[in-house]
Amino acid sequence: MPTLTLHDAVGAALAEEMRRDSTVIAFGEGIATKRRDLAEEFGTRRIRNTPLSEGIIAGTAAGAAAGGLRPVADLLFAPFLCYAMDELVNSAGKLRYISGGQFRFPLVTLAMTGAGWGVGAQHNHNVEAWFVHSPGLKVVMPSTPADAKGLLKAAIRDDNPVVFLLDIGLLYQPGEVPDDEVLVPLGQAATLRPGNDVSLISYGKTVHHCVQAAETLAAEGVSAEVIDLRSLKPLDTSAILATTRKTGRVVIVHEANRLCGVGAEIAALIAEEAFSALKAPVLRLGGPDAPVPASFPLEQATVPQADAIAAAARRLCAARYA
């Protein structure tokens, strides 16, 4: 299998889907500049840069989707989605339902998120929980190049709007990507490492921190199972409940603010559906309720690291309900 970065895997998925389906178009903030090969192959009618106006970009995507196209809109940094909330949440997310299913809204919104570049608080804000909470939208956040390619292909073919978040810290990390056509279904988690003592559930870059923590714990005789959610909505509840019932101990890890984050929903799901299987309380590790600093060391301090994850797993393995 060839080795690609996550950035290049996204480009490969776009190229394959644009060749396969003439209704797939791509536009947004610098997309034709970042992906000159696509601009040269498909021309400015199908891939183009736009003015820096997120509401107009998202509104154009919603209109194009309603008109029978499959647009991919690049809004660059996740906090810029604030300027497109009406178009994405109040229009694209709701209109298929409001129309009684008469219209489809097959659009994908790309945005970079997370720590890794030291770009400061106004460019680095993990906002995935906002869109998980918005009816009609799907939300995806891959942790590997292979998943980025497979999930993006599936997202482009989906008849619903998908918010597709790319973790900045993983953007240029290489990984093996299948040469042949592989679609990764939305809503299907992956077990990256099996284990019996404790479950580490995560997505994005903290998945790799969980794998590192699991390797540390293995040397200490603790068997940790690592689950990569990949898709936050739809959420693979079956995989979450299965790993909970298997190990009885769960640590949920994400970079986004811990308060009202995706981890809180997962913890509630476990409490409602698998409480009797728990051998210790569910733990959540997340970022602080504060803007992210531009300083690289301080930025990294907001992200749950492998040592903190391993320490949380040790606490759970030592804990017992009375």
pLDDT, mean over the chain: 94
Question: Which position among 123, 208, 209, 254 bears the catalytic label?
Answer: 123
Regarding beta strands 224-228 and 190-193, do their DSSP bridges make them parallel or antiparallel, or are they unpaired? antiparallel
- Establish whether 273 is a catalytic residue: no
- Establish whether 123 is a catalytic residue: yes
Instruction: Give the per-residue pLDDT at 218.
Output: 95
Regarding beta strands 198-202 and 224-228, do their DSSP bridges make them parallel or antiparallel, or are they unpaired? parallel
Q: Sheet containing 70-77: which strands, arranged edge to edge? A: 47-49, 24-28, 70-77, 108-113, 162-167, 138-140, 231-233
Residues 223-236 have a mean pLDDT of: 97
Direct distance between the N- and C-terminal alpha carbons of the chain, in angstroms, rounded to an integer: 51
Which of 33-37, 119-123, 246-250 holds the top average pLDDT? 246-250
User: In the predicted model, is pLDDT for residue 167 greater than 80?
Assistant: yes
Residues 178-207 have a mean pLDDT of: 95
Question: Which position among 17, 54, 87, 128 bears the catalytic label?
Answer: 54
3-state SS, residue 148: helix
Query: With bands split at pLDDT 50, 70 and 90, how would you rate the model's confidence at 163?
Result: very high
Number of CB atoms found within 10 A of residue 297's CB: 8
Cα angle, residue 199 at apex, residues 196 and 205 outer, rounded to 5°: 135
User: Per the structure block, which two tokens stand in for 140?
Assistant: 């995806």
Query: With bands split at pLDDT 50, 70 and 90, how would you rate the model's confidence at 322?
Result: very low
Q: How far apart are CA 103 and CA 160, in angstroms?
A: 10
Query: With bands split at pLDDT 50, 70 and 90, how would you rate the model's confidence at 320?
Result: low
Residues 260, 268: contact at Cβ < 8 Å? no
Cα angle, residue 52 at apex, residues 50 and 57 outer, rounded to 5°: 60
Q: How far apart are CA 17 and CA 184, in angstroms?
A: 14
Query: With bands split at pLDDT 50, 70 and 90, how would you rate the model's confidence at 8?
Result: very high
User: Per the structure block, which two tokens stand in for 84?
Assistant: 């497109």
pTM of the model: 0.93
Residues 37-46 have a mean pLDDT of: 92
Query: With bands split at pLDDT 50, 70 and 90, how would you rate the model's confidence at 114?
Result: very high
Q: How far apart are CA 70 and CA 264, in angstroms?
A: 33
Instruction: Give the per-residue pLDDT at 180.
Output: 82
User: In the predicted model, is pLDDT for residue 321 greater than 70?
Assistant: no
Outline where 104-187 has alpha helix (H): 128-132, 145-157
User: In the predicted model, is pLDDT for residue 254 greater than 50?
Assistant: yes
Residues 56-74 have a mean pLDDT of: 94
Residues 35-63 have a mean pLDDT of: 92
User: Per the structure block, which two tokens stand in for 189?
Assistant: 């988690």
Of 64-78, 235-249, 290-304, least confident by mean pLDDT is: 290-304
